[in-house]
Amino acid sequence: MHNPLLQDWSTPFEIAPFDDISDTDFEPAVANALSEARDRIAAIADNAAPPDFANTIEALERADEILDRVLGVFFNLAGADSNAQREALQRTFSPMLAQFANEITSNRALFRRIETLWQNRDHLDLTDEQARVLMLTRRSFVRAGAQLDGAPADRLAEVKERLAVLGTQFTQNLLADERAWFMELSEHDLEGLPDFVVASARAAGEEKGADGPVITLSRSLIVPFLQFSPRRNLRERAYRAWTSRGANGGETDNRGVAAEILALRHERARLLGYDDFASYKLETEMAKTPEAVEGLLMRVWAPAHAKAEADAAVLTGMMRRDGINGDLEPWDWRYYSEKRRKAEHDLDEAELKPYLQLDRMIEAAFACARRLFGLDFKPVDVPLYHPDVRAWEVTRDGRHMALFLGDYFARGSKRSGAWCSTMRSQQKLAGDIRPIVVNVCNFAKPPAGKPALLSYDDARTLFHEFGHALHQMLSDVTYQRISGTSVARDFVELPSQLYEHWLEVPDVLAEFATHAETGAAMPKDLLDRLLAAATYDMGFQTVEYVASALVDLDFHRGDPPEDPMARQAAILEKIGMPRAIGMRHATPHFAHVFAGDGYSSGYYSYMWSEVMDADAFEAFKEAGGAFDPRMAEKLERFILSAGGSEEADALYTKFRGRLPGVEALLKGRGLDTAA
């Protein structure tokens, strides 16, 4: 039976032949690939030859390469272009894959071979990279329970399989809520909205099959609606729907799912000998301990909270002048903050947005990569999974470096947020394998024939995800285990957040921020006003983020909460959360934490990395400017190309000469002078 997922791909750059793949191909392909991987694992474990690095560690690295290829395609589709059949397949695959992973780490014969190598590591004549891969392989087995026997081992396997099921359920519940809700607007309801919001609402209405414009739960549409709509009742309705995702009762309610996930994570950590899940999770991160994380977050919380409370008083005064005597509410903040920004900085999103065309911002991201790292980007015609997706070949001095896919527009089949993933990772063990990298965003799609316009926050998101992409494209290691973004969670955001700084370089905006209709460059006075307002409303932004990070950390310290929503409320009360600011991600839609355990106890990592990114960009400025070639070479050599080949703090120290303090972060957020 022909199954394109299992054939050799003769497509350009060996990308998946999407025009030949159907959803019915995935289940037999995964079954076949799992069987092949199991046979390879058994051959390694049962090998009569004494273990060496090649016949054990390198063989293990390649054991599931067919499965990796199939799943690289499937999970990219499941996140960016889901449908009922793909969602059903996710529910089928999640426990299967968890069981397979457990089979590997509980294979006693296999672990004995790894342990033998570990005990004899000083006599194996390993390269530094091989020694690192051996350590990481053994550590992953130990942390997965390879040293457990009997009932504890069996129970751990059950826990991990159930967690895989629950993570998928959480994600699909959230997507269902986001897909189902929209608010229809009359022509009267459009009054006061800028043209770009009206155009986006009309395009969303067409996508939803409505008779007119609608507001959806896509951040790129609902945030500008909350910024500009003078209709307070509609802002409240939209905000409540946005913040109620996953908490609407019925089959898609995530509150019970979150409670069970937290309980099982705690049990998992206890089975492995840790006090709680936070202690287990943070052991391998730069932070190491929950206390270190809390220390950073509270150091930032105090000035951010003071700034937010001062801002709330100003916004309340503005609301009073509008004749509204109640409290400032969360659905009021963005509206009055936008008015204040226009008054104090003479900066209007409607004036700014025509200069931030999607195509020009993509060009800007590419141009910065060219100046820093010598990369060139050429549009190419390859099979793609959706008409909105675009592809570029990435080269340097004529050498193929990567295939880059950009999937930028929101749609009902795409989960919310923005992310970078790979369909194939860089490695050299199986030849000079170059990556296929995907950036997925959720920008508002314009009406046909109109340019896509971004907010400044959207443009930062584009640069952020492209920073992750560069981490993959420039990876230069032998083993996939340490390739690209396979680094500590609180280090992985360094390249992405650092790359955001190049959007703020005046020369970059002067060249690429051109008007969608006239083609004129952004006027210098508008550019100056934009950069002067870079830290505007940073109290709000920092508070909504840090509150989410503190809740995540507390959830995973000590005993798990029976009622996560009650615990969330108690944490927010304890830290004095301003009443007019909501968490950036409340528990029922906190996908970073509950869709999988990648960011569990780890949502703080954006801020941990920001300490480094603020310091790292200072290094460029100290050395001679944003495009200093010596610093760019060091950034590539010690960070972007190195992957996880060394501990994160060692890599950063090689780049900068020292580890940073929090001062650059506070300065960058304009919080160094906060009360």
What number of other Cβ atoms are within 10 A of residue 195's Cβ?
A: 12
- Contact (Cβ atoms closer than 8 angstroms) between residue 246 and residue 173: yes
Helix (H) or strand (E) holding 648: helix 648-656
What is the spatial distance between Cα 232 and Cα 182, in angstroms, rounded to a whole number? Answer: 17
Tell me the backbone φ, ψ of residue 328, rounded to 5 degrees: -65, 125
What is the spatial distance between Cα 37 and Cα 61, in angstroms, rounded to a whole number? Answer: 11
What number of other Cβ atoms are within 10 A of residue 451's Cβ?
A: 12
Identity of the amino acid at 424:
R
Helix (H) or strand (E) holding 402: strand 399-409
Both tokens of 387, joined, read 């008409």
- The torsion region of residue 403 among left (phi > 0), alpha (psi -120 to 50) and beta comes to beta
In the block, residue with structure tokens 């508070």:
543
In the block, residue with structure tokens 């529910």:
91
Both tokens of 301, joined, read 């919380």
Both tokens of 133, joined, read 């891969």
- Contact (Cβ atoms closer than 8 angstroms) between residue 231 and residue 244: no
- Contact (Cβ atoms closer than 8 angstroms) between residue 271 and residue 263: no
What is the spatial distance between Cα 515 and Cα 609, in angstroms, rounded to a whole number? Answer: 34
Helix (H) or strand (E) holding 395: strand 390-396
Start-end of H helices in 322-374: 330-345, 349-352, 358-373
State the pairing for strand pair 390-396/419-424.
Answer: unpaired
Both tokens of 645, joined, read 């080949």
Identity of the amino acid at 96:
M
Both tokens of 675, joined, read 């009360």
Q: Provide CB contacts within 8 A for 533, sequence distance 6+.
A: 341, 345, 347
Q: How many residues does the chain have?
A: 675
Which of the residues 129, 338, 465, 493 is marked catalytic? 465
Both tokens of 598, joined, read 């990648």
State the pairing for strand pair 399-409/419-424.
Answer: unpaired
Name which of 439, 432, 433 is nearest 369 in CA terms: 439
Name which of 402, 360, 362, 396 is nearest 382 in CA terms: 402
What is the spatial distance between Cα 666 and Cα 568, in angstroms, rounded to a whole number? Answer: 26
465 is catalytic: yes
Task: Label residue 65 exposed, middle or buried (CB < 10 Å: 0-12, 13-18, 19+).
Answer: middle
Q: Which residues are catalytic?
A: 465
